[in-house]
Amino acid sequence: MGMAQQRQKSLPVLTRSTRTNPHQLTIGQVSPELAEQTKGSEMPNIVTADELRVILGVSDSLYSDAYLDQMIESAEATILPMLTQYQSAVVATRITNDVIYIDTLRPNFFVVGQEVILAGIGNGLDGPYTVSNHSVNAFEVTAVVDEADRITTPCIPAGTITLDGGSAAELYASVPAVKTAILIVSTEIFQSVTAPGGQIEGVDFAPTPFRMGRSLQNRVIGLISAFYDVDSICQ
């Protein structure tokens, strides 16, 4: 109990963003500008299909952009969560008296006035909010919503709450080391999918199975070590 009290601190309360724009939001709606962020990435953020195609040496007639995009998205989903960013995993939500209580896996450090984006929650709650007040629980953020009461609902898989412009895809878009790491992992995934039996042959023609195992991230950890979130295992 003593340790729990030590971990408590003042943290922000969120309210639905009131930014004036041609796509004014209501509960359950997401503006076109934020659609990609709130419903999950549908296109690669850092590496393009053309860049991967050059590395692989394949033609677009054999492997389409959409096919290579899947490899890149998988690589980004592997690498980006490992990087330090303004994002917290959301594990559960509940609504009481027009206030949504958002439980985060780790302490969150959002600042009053920041624009944040809730994603992966569903039920009409995804979208932009503005940090506007405080809560006493380091692992909980609250927001004002116009919704009926709901009991605590786990988010499986976990949703996210991210500072607008502070996601890993935006922070590291121009960092060569991160781009190279994503290219390497994209290539590994492509070769594992297309190689007979899923086994890649090394330069000595020896098969190298289990390329998609736990060591996948370790192959590029040296490249991203300067940006690595040491607590990312908690996400």
42-83 confidence digits (pLDDT tens): 566 899 999 999 999 888 888 899 999 999 999 998 899 889
Calculate the average pLDDT of the chain.
76
More confident residue, 144 or 83: 83
Q: Which of 67, 34, 38 is nearest to 50 (CA)?
A: 67
Adjacent-strand bridge partners of 43? none
Distance CA(214)–CA(103), nearest Å, equals 29
Query: If 0-12 CB within 10 Å is exposed, 13-18 middle and 19+ buried, where does residue 46 land?
Result: buried
Give the pLDDT of residue 41: 42
Whether the upstream peptide bond of residue 207 has omega within 30° of 0, thus cis, is: no
Q: Which of 148, 149, 153 is nearest to 121 (CA)?
A: 153
3-state secondary structure of 61: coil
Q: What is the pTM of this model?
A: 0.68
Query: If 0-12 CB within 10 Å is exposed, 13-18 middle and 19+ buried, where does residue 2 land?
Result: exposed
Tell me the mean pLDDT in the region 13-18: 52
Percent of the chain with pLDDT over 90: 22
Distance CA(70)–CA(74), nearest Å, equals 6
Instruction: Catalogue the E-assigned strands of 59-139.
Output: 87-96, 99-104, 115-119, 127-135
Lookup: tokens for 8 = 């408590």
Give, in order, the Cα–Cα distances in Å from 64 to each of 60, 69, 188: 5, 9, 18
Give, in order, the Cα–Cα distances in Å from 83 to each of 43, 57, 86: 19, 29, 10
On the question of pLDDT at 19 being above 50, the answer is: no
What is the rounded radius of gyration, in angstroms, for the C-alpha atoms of the chain? 20
Give the pLDDT of residue 225: 87
Tell me the mean pLDDT in the region 2-16: 48
Distance CA(113)–CA(142), nearest Å, equals 14
Give the pLDDT of residue 33: 43
Kindly list the domain boundaries of the chain, sorted by start residue.
Answer: 2-35+86-167, 41-83+169-226
Q: Which of 71, 89, 98, 123 is nearest to 13 (CA)?
A: 98
Q: Are 69 and 43 in contact (CB under 8 A)?
A: yes
- Using the Cα atoms of residue 110, residue 112, residue 117 and residue 120 in order, give the sign of their dihedral: positive
